[in-house]
Structure 1
Amino acid sequence: MRTIGMKRALLGAAIAALALNASAAQAATATGTAKAKILRQITLTNTSDLQYATVISGATASTVQVSTAGARTCGSGLTCTGTATAANFNIAGTDGALVDVSGDANVTLTGSLGGTMTSTLSYSAASVTLGATGGSFQVGGTLSVGANQTAGDYSGTFNVTANYQ
């Protein structure tokens, strides 16, 4: 009887070993990869302001436009003198990265002696691909000058944003 008991024990052990090997034979392994892309923090620097220069208002309302290239068009009834410039912004960041550009659509200019004027703004690009030295974009605008606009020095600030795409 002992032999029969041992045979059964050995047979049970063999079946258990086969069961363990069967599950090990069906196991599979794989590897994964962890990745990250690091971008330098963007810096945005204003290097020149949007300058309409000197405008002499007339009896009728009109506009002065400065293109994103800095060219000025003085509207009917106005006299424009001095040097006009578009605002220029430099972007520093990761070489080869695409940066979206956005900002305020309008700016209100307040006069030193009272009065206000509004300028609609235009951007030279909606996105900029950065090179080894960064990139840049310009902001021009169209200034609405009232009839007999109050004299004085006018200024107003506007916001621009640059974000990685």
Structure 2
Amino acid sequence: MECNIFGMYFVNGCTGKMGKAVLEAAVSAGIHIVPVSFGGLKNAGKTVQVGGKDIQMYGPYERERILASILNDYPNLIVVDYTVPAAVNDNVELYCKIGVPFVMGTTGGDRNRLYKTVESSKIYAVISPQMGKQLVAFLATMENMAEQFPGVFSGYTLQVLPLSASS
């Protein structure tokens, strides 16, 4: 069994732009990944290559069995999810049911339901409301400014809202 102090990482959604980038970065950094991911019916049974690694794809009907088996083999497993908004809540329910900690990088889904599912499960999770590189850079800049200029944002509330279709 291949493992390090940080555990093993399972990147769900490795065929998408962000999932692929995260997986490639992890591989190039020497982080150990589980060569498995979930996908839709069209990818079930296929092997895709990401970051020089062969990743076995499993369909929706195999997810619970496969994830439980992987967690059994790698008890320090952490799932990193970059799938699609429609899959967020079902994925979170699966991760919590199996008992695997996760990072949710996918935007969307029913966030209230997501938070309630995680809270009732007591599973460790990192849930980001948005992981687009522009927003992450903006948030880092704001954090830096708050540290450099203490109190500068006192009394203010910041909201980042999507543009409406009519904008």
TM-score (norm 2): 0.18
Structure with more strand by fraction? 1
Structure with more helix by fraction? 2
- The structure with the largest alpha-carbon Rg is 1
TM-score (norm 1): 0.19
